[in-house]
A and B are shown apart, each in its own frame.
Chain A
Amino acid sequence: MQLLKYDVIILGSGIGGFTTAIHSSNLNKKAKIAIISKLHAMRSHSVSAEGGISGVLYPEINKDSEKLHAYDTIKGSDYLSDQDAVELLVKNAPKEIVFFEHLGVPWNRDQKGIIQERPFGGMSIPRTAFAADKTGFFMMRSLYDQVQSLPNVDIFHENFATKILRTKDAVGVFIIDLATGKHKVIYGSSLVIATGGFSRVYKITTTSHSTTGDGIALAYNAGASLKDVEFVQFHPTALVPNGILITEAARGEGGYLLNKDNERFMKRYASSKMELAPRDIISRAIITEINEGRGMKDPSSGLEYVYLDLRHLGKEIINKKLPMIKEICIKTIGLNPEEEPIPVRPAAHFTMGGINTDIDGRVLDIELNHINNLWAVGECGCVSVHGANRLGSNSLSQCSVWGRVVGKEVSKNTHDIKHDDLKELEKLAEEEELRLNVLFDKKGMYTAYELEDEMREVMEKHFYVYRNEKEMKKGLDILEKLLKKSTNLRIQDKSNIFNTNLRDTLEFINQIELAHAVAVAALNRKESRGAHSRTDYPKRDDRVWLKHTILAKDGSGIKINYSDVKITKWKPEERKY
Chain B
Amino acid sequence: MKTSKYFAFFYLSMGFLPILFFLLLISAFYSYMYFKELLILIGLDLLVFSILGGLEIYKRSDKVKTNKLVKNYLSNVKNDGYNIVIAGFDIKSKEIKQKQYKVNINKYTSVLDAILDVKKAQDNTIALRYSCRMGICGSCGMVINGKPSLACETNFIKVAKNNVVTVEPMQAHPIVKDLVTDFKDFFDKHSSVEPHLIRENTKEQMTGKTPYDQKPDDTNKFLPYSYCIMCGLCNDACPVVNSNPEFLGPQALSQAYRYQMDSRDQSKDRLTAIDKLTGLWGCEFAGACSKACPKGVDPASAIQLLKMVSISDDLKGKNDGEKNEV
Q: Is the CB of A43 within 8 A of B137?
A: yes
Per-residue CB contact flags for chain B residues 205-239 toward chain A (1 = under 8 Å, else 0) read 11111111111100100110011111000000000
Residues of B within 8 A of A103 (CB): 196-197, 205
Please report the C-alpha to C-alpha distance between residue A102 and residue B208 in the assembled complex, in whole angstroms: 8
- Nearest-neighbour CB distance to chain A for B224, whole angstroms, equals 11
- Nearest-neighbour CB distance to chain A for B63, whole angstroms, equals 25
Please report the C-alpha to C-alpha distance between residue A110 and residue B217 in the assembled complex, in whole angstroms: 10
The contact of A328 among B134, B139, B264, by CB within 8 Å, is: B134
The contact of A40 among B139, B202, B215, B226, by CB within 8 Å, is: B139
Please report the C-alpha to C-alpha distance between residue A333 and residue B110 in the assembled complex, in whole angstroms: 10
Q: Is the CB of B214 within 8 A of A113?
A: yes
Please report the C-alpha to C-alpha distance between residue A138 and residue B91 in the assembled complex, in whole angstroms: 36
Taking CB atoms and an 8 Å cut-off, the chain A residues in 473-508 that contact chain B are: 491-493, 495, 497-501, 504
Per-residue CB contact flags for chain B residues 227-260 toward chain A (1 = under 8 Å, else 0) read 1111000000000000000000000000100010
- Nearest-neighbour CB distance to chain A for B106, whole angstroms, equals 4
Q: Is the CB of A208 within 8 A of B132?
A: yes
B62 within 8 A of A: no
The contact of A332 among B153, B183, B211, by CB within 8 Å, is: B153
Q: Is the CB of B182 within 8 A of A179?
A: yes
Per-residue CB contact flags for chain A residues 80-104 toward chain B (1 = under 8 Å, else 0) read 0000000000000001001101111
A341 within 8 A of B: no
Residues of A within 8 A of B123 (CB): 492
**A47-B137, A109-B219, A497-B177 known; A137-B212 Cβ under 8 A:** no
- Best-buried of B110, B190, B197, B219 by chain A (most CB within 10 Å): B197
Please report the C-alpha to C-alpha distance between residue A499 and residue B126 in the assembled complex, in whole angstroms: 9
**A109-B216, A149-B194, A495-B125 known; A99-B206 Cβ under 8 A:** yes
A-B contact count (CB 8 A): 171
A145 within 8 A of B: yes
Residues of A within 8 A of B139 (CB): 39-40, 43
A148 within 8 A of B: yes
The contact of A449 among B124, B136, B210, by CB within 8 Å, is: B124
Residues of A within 8 A of B255 (CB): 145
Please report the C-alpha to C-alpha distance between residue A22 and residue B233 in the assembled complex, in whole angstroms: 29
- Nearest-neighbour CB distance to chain A for B23, whole angstroms, equals 34
Taking CB atoms and an 8 Å cut-off, the chain A residues in 180-237 that contact chain B are: 208-210
- Best-buried of B183, B196, B210 by chain A (most CB within 10 Å): B196
Residues of A within 8 A of B214 (CB): 109, 113
The contact of B135 among A112, A115, A327, A501, by CB within 8 Å, is: A327
Please report the C-alpha to C-alpha distance between residue A279 and residue B278 in the assembled complex, in whole angstroms: 52
Per-residue CB contact flags for chain B residues 58-91 toward chain A (1 = under 8 Å, else 0) read 0000000000000000000000000000000001
Per-residue CB contact flags for chain B residues 138-176 toward chain A (1 = under 8 Å, else 0) read 110000000000000101000000000000000000001
The contact of B211 among A101, A142, A157, A208, by CB within 8 Å, is: A101
- Nearest-neighbour CB distance to chain A for B319, whole angstroms, equals 21
Residues of A within 8 A of B135 (CB): 327-328, 331
A447 within 8 A of B: yes
B127 within 8 A of A: yes
Please report the C-alpha to C-alpha distance between residue A145 and residue B262 in the assembled complex, in whole angstroms: 14
The contact of B177 among A109, A210, A498, by CB within 8 Å, is: A498
A111 within 8 A of B: yes
Q: Tell me the nearest residue of chain B to A102, going by C-beta.
A: B205
Which stretch, A238-246, A354-362, A536-544, A560-568, touches the partner chain B?
A: A238-246
**How many residues belonging to B are interface residues under a CB distance threshold of 8 Å?**
69
Q: Is the CB of B196 within 8 A of A145?
A: yes
Overall SS of chain B's interface: loop
Taking CB atoms and an 8 Å cut-off, the chain A residues in 40-58 that contact chain B are: 40, 42-45, 47-48
Residues of B within 8 A of A242 (CB): 108, 133
Q: Is the CB of A179 within 8 A of B176?
A: yes
Residues of B within 8 A of A157 (CB): 183, 187
- Nearest-neighbour CB distance to chain A for B263, whole angstroms, equals 10
Residues of A within 8 A of B134 (CB): 48, 208, 244-245, 328, 332
Q: Is the CB of B196 within 8 A of A447?
A: no
Residues of A within 8 A of B266 (CB): none
The contact of A47 among B126, B132, B180, B228, by CB within 8 Å, is: B132
Please report the C-alpha to C-alpha distance between residue A449 and residue B122 in the assembled complex, in whole angstroms: 11
Taking CB atoms and an 8 Å cut-off, the chain A residues in 1-59 that contact chain B are: 22-23, 26, 39-40, 42-45, 47-48
Residues of A within 8 A of B191 (CB): 148
Q: Is the CB of B131 within 8 A of A43?
A: yes
Q: Is the CB of A145 within 8 A of B195?
A: yes
- Nearest-neighbour CB distance to chain B for A247, whole angstroms, equals 11
Residues of B within 8 A of A43 (CB): 131-132, 137-139
- Nearest-neighbour CB distance to chain A for B305, whole angstroms, equals 18
Q: Is the CB of A26 within 8 A of B206?
A: yes
Residues of B within 8 A of A113 (CB): 213-216
Please report the C-alpha to C-alpha distance between residue A39 and residue B227 in the assembled complex, in whole angstroms: 20
Residues of A within 8 A of B227 (CB): 134
Q: Tell me the nearest residue of chain B to A503, going by C-beta.
A: B127
Q: Tell me the nearest residue of chain B to A298, going by C-beta.
A: B108
Residues of B within 8 A of A99 (CB): 206-207
Q: Tell me the nearest residue of chain B to A240, going by C-beta.
A: B108
- Nearest-neighbour CB distance to chain B for A60, whole angstroms, equals 14
- Nearest-neighbour CB distance to chain A for B175, whole angstroms, equals 10
Residues of A within 8 A of B206 (CB): 22-23, 26, 99, 102
Q: Is the CB of B108 within 8 A of A45?
A: no
B120 within 8 A of A: yes
Please report the C-alpha to C-alpha distance between residue A39 and residue B180 in the assembled complex, in whole angstroms: 12
- Nearest-neighbour CB distance to chain A for B140, whole angstroms, equals 10
- Best-buried of B137, B213, B215 by chain A (most CB within 10 Å): B137
- A-B complex: 8 closest residue pairs judged by Cβ atoms: A493-B125, A492-B124, A208-B132, A148-B191, A43-B137, A145-B196, A449-B120, A331-B153
The 12 listed contacts between A and B (C-beta, < 8 Å) are A40-B183, A99-B206, A102-B211, A103-B205, A106-B219, A109-B219, A146-B196, A148-B191, A208-B131, A300-B106, A449-B119, A491-B124
- List 11 additional contacts besides A98-B209, A102-B211, A137-B229; criterion CB under 8 Å: A39-B137, A40-B138, A40-B183, A44-B137, A99-B206, A102-B212, A106-B219, A149-B198, A241-B108, A332-B155, A497-B91
